[in-house]
Amino acid sequence: MLVFVANVLVFADARGLHSHGAMRAEYYAERIAKEGINHHPDFHFERTGASSGIFHADNGAGHVAAQFAMDEAIKMAKENGVAVVGVKKMGHSGALSYYTERAAKHDLIGFSVCLSDPMVVPFGGAEPYYGTNPIAFAVPGNEGKLISFDMATTVQAWGKILHARSKNQLIPDTWAVDENGEPTTDPFKVQALLPISGPKGYGLGMMVDVLSGILLGLPFGNKVSSMYHDLSEGRNLGQLHLVINPELFTTINKFKDDIATTMRDLNAIKPAPGFNQVYYPGQNLEVIQKEYEEKGIEIVDDIYAYLVSDVIHNNSYDHKDPFVE
């Protein structure tokens, strides 16, 4: 189980997605130690139709459940052309693009959404209701290259706030609001996050909530469990994988050639002032990953000190209020 978790954390750090990398290790260790992550989950896959199913995660490690569920979706999409697989009652699963890129590497289209803590104000609202409710999408091109994006439905993911706190850095005033609903640049004063592009991000967050919560009969909206409330309890989160085989609509070679053309076309677009190049989604991560392969992954001092210590956890997260600590 721990190998699966470690793989996703390293994947995130190697892509520059530090908010879902090693900084999460102590949190997972504490939740595992307090049995809020089931040590011996009854993982099983229930096929509910020719192209649909539910992976029952039994509050096991979300990284493991999400990967097993995606593997079932990949198998089903290869057999029947399309697959929709829900993951029911899981823990936090880290960077969603890890799973969608798994589908893309099998010459399939991967799309995933999942629930997260209620910490986002709906457009026009003054208190949180939805989570950051991320969306990830990946498709294959030629020569192993992928178009891939992984986004929160907020201006920034909550993990970015935590990353700013760990480095004592200010944040842009467009990311979040304080206790009065006013924009703040202080990550320690954040009381709620803002949806991306106002009502548009609000609508996307609601869509994710429906697909990965209500559709699976799980807690939704502000009923979704907090990441830090009582680490001895399972979180009962939901996730949905949609996998499509391009050969339902075209040949895989033409599809990948057209994706490759899209990549070249985007790279060839005249850059705007202040930019050196237009990148296709995921391309900048390839550059970052190459740098890490050559130079290694930077880890902030306090996280490094924890990783090399003999301490399992420092009891830092149980019943923590993420907004004020």
Rounded to whole angstroms, what are the CA distances from 107 to 13, 80, 284?
A: 25, 14, 21
62 in Cβ contact with 90 (< 8 Å): yes
Who's near 125: CB < 8 A, 6+ residues apart?
A: none
Query: Which residue in 18, 92, 163, 241 is the catalytic one?
Result: 92
Side-chain half-sphere of 271: how many Cα atoms within 13 Å? 9
Q: Which residues contact 13 (CB under 8 A, 6 or more apart)?
A: 21, 22, 292, 297, 299
229 is known as an active-site residue: no
Closest CA to 77 of 41, 107, 116: 107
Query: What Cα–Cα distance (Å) separates residue 136 from each residue in 20, 94, 239, 271, 322?
Result: 14, 12, 11, 26, 24
**CA–CA separation, 288 vs 272, rounded Å?**
22
Which secondary structure element, helix H or strand E, spans residue 307, and what is its range? Answer: helix 301-308
Q: Which residues are catalytic?
A: 92
